[in-house]
Amino acid sequence: MKKILIISDGRIGEHFIQRVSETYTSENIYYIVQTKAKEFIDINPARFKFYEFDPTSLYKLANLLKMEFIQVFIAMDSQIDAENTIKNIRTIKKQLRIIVLNKWNIQNEDANVVFVNEQELVASRLLDYLPNVPVIAQNVGVGEGEIMEVLVPFGSSFVYRHIGAIEQKNWKITAIYRNRKLIIPSRRKMIQPNDLLLLIGEPAVLKSVYRSIKRELGQFPEPFGTNLLLYIDMNIVNHKTIKEAIRRAVYVHKKFKHNLVIKVTNPSNLDILDYIKEFRSINIIVDIDYDSVNLKEMFHNDVKHYHAGLVIVSKEMFADCYVREALYEAHVPVLKLSDRKFSTLKEAVLILSDNRDLEKISATIFDISEQMNFNIELINYMSEHQEEKEQVIEHYTNLSTIFSKSIKIVKEDENPIRCLQQKENFIQLLPFTKKLTTRRLFSLFSTDSEKLYYKLDDYHQIFIPVQL
């Protein structure tokens, strides 16, 4: 976590803090100093810490600067206050980088103090409205963030992915800059470390894309959400298996180190409810709904309210077509529990198909496998469409090098599902696409291994959305 200090006492500072709260990085924690406390909308208390005191007081500021900040932002209305605040910071931290909103043309020879001139910013924005004058890249379009430039770090989930295998809905990769040269994207082009991507799309979508590009292992269930949600409908789930499902969900919760929410609908067994309530703690929330309401609407509201990044359900619930459709529409990963032991799992199995969906979810697969300590095994059924499969294998092999995670590639001439049914225990990871929402009856004669997921219903499975 990078600590950033923001010192504010005016309208611009307040606006800056609100904008910061709406940005798309989860890697920073912000410490806000205000002379008078202000209320902000939808502030994440885990990322923002507020203090109310006069920053021109060296004694008070010194206590806060005992922490290690990487940057300080100063947005104040008074020149004297701003200069004295800079002086106080320099008394304690000689090299700390300071960004100052400069309304008064302050001069300073300190190389680690950056002055952002307010008049220049306003004049630059007004200049964009002059006819026959080209605009700078940051102000192209409506200026709301629909054009974004992103540097792909070495450990990114996008490294060594083919452009054609990246789901680009409501956004596009329009250019790649590599070694200061422009590369026009094509389906077969592969993204390399340190590539600079030029993206165009809806601002909200680009924020999610940015998170995915910058994301490294150890973040799951982000960027889908921050909490785990175990959903139990007692009208559907076998009551004999509920206690075991809860124990497995708690085990997963401890592995991922994210909060767990246990949601029970249609409660009908008091002994089980008492058992569930015993798990209430700081990191485990128990939510029992006694009202009979629309399941799909309530589920979507719960996913949003609890910011769920992984939904856990029993195999009985996932078998219900209506429930499965609601899970798909939520666009979050789903862990379907079977009756087998979870704590003894060692292998995560992927069956290669003739599409590239496994490449789209590769970063999530590596992240899950790393946190749960799974070995990754790719099953390559030696039939037609080998070219597509070879590209997926190449991608996973490259990622295994980046993340220092070994993978095993198994070539099978027989039906891979039939072979896997002979294994003792494993977890299957597969893309969660629209075709999985159809009724099982319609896929009885299909040769698509993804449509036949229910053939491995006795094993744990994780279904991962292909869209960001």
Q: What was the pLDDT predicted at 244?
A: 92
Q: What was the pLDDT predicted at 136?
A: 40
Residue 431, CA distances (Å) to 2, 210, 231, 383 in order: 33, 21, 20, 20
Q: What was the pLDDT predicted at 297?
A: 84
Going by pLDDT thresholds of 50, 70 and 90, the confidence category of residue 142 is low
Chain centroid, CA 163 distance in Å: 20
Domain at 227-337, CATH homologous superfamily? HUPs (3.40.50.620)
Instruction: Assess whether pLDDT exceeds 60 at residue 468.
Output: no
Chain position carrying tokens 């806060």: 64
pTM, two decimal places: 0.62
d(CA 253, CA 247): 10
Q: Strand order of the sheet with strand 2-8?
A: 48-52, 28-34, 2-8, 71-75, 98-102, 113-117
Between 396 and 332, residue with greater pLDDT: 332
Q: pLDDT tens digits for 273-299?
A: 999 999 999 899 999 988 766 778 888
Q: pLDDT tens digits for 9-30?
A: 888 888 888 888 877 566 788 9
Q: What was the pLDDT predicted at 260?
A: 95
All CATH 3.40.50.620 domain ranges of the chain, comma separated, are 227-337, 347-465
Q: pLDDT tens digits for 417-453?
A: 888 888 888 999 999 988 888 887 776 767 777 888 8
Fold for the domain defined by 347-465:
Rossmann fold (3.40.50)
- Spatial CA neighbour of 330 closest among 349, 345, 311: 311
Q: pLDDT tens digits for 186-207?
A: 988 889 888 888 888 887 777 7
Q: pLDDT tens digits for 67-111?
A: 889 899 999 988 899 989 999 999 998 888 899 988 888 887 787
d(CA 212, CA 201): 15
All CATH 3.40.50.720 domain ranges of the chain, comma separated, are 2-125
Q: What was the pLDDT predicted at 39?
A: 83
Between 413 and 238, residue with greater pLDDT: 238
Q: pLDDT tens digits for 296-330?
A: 888 899 999 999 999 999 999 999 989 999 999 99
Rounded mean pLDDT, 259-276: 92
Domain 142-214, CATH: 3.30.70.1450
Q: Please, what is the average pLDDT of the chain? A: 84
Q: pLDDT tens digits for 227-249?
A: 999 999 998 998 999 999 999 99
Q: What was the pLDDT predicted at 152?
A: 85
Tokens of 209: 């894309």
Q: What was the pLDDT predicted at 133?
A: 45
Determine the Cα angle at 246 with ends 244 and 252, to 5°. Answer: 105
Going by pLDDT thresholds of 50, 70 and 90, the confidence category of residue 145 is low
d(CA 427, CA 365): 11
Q: Let me know if domain 2-125 sits in CATH 3.40.30.10.
A: no
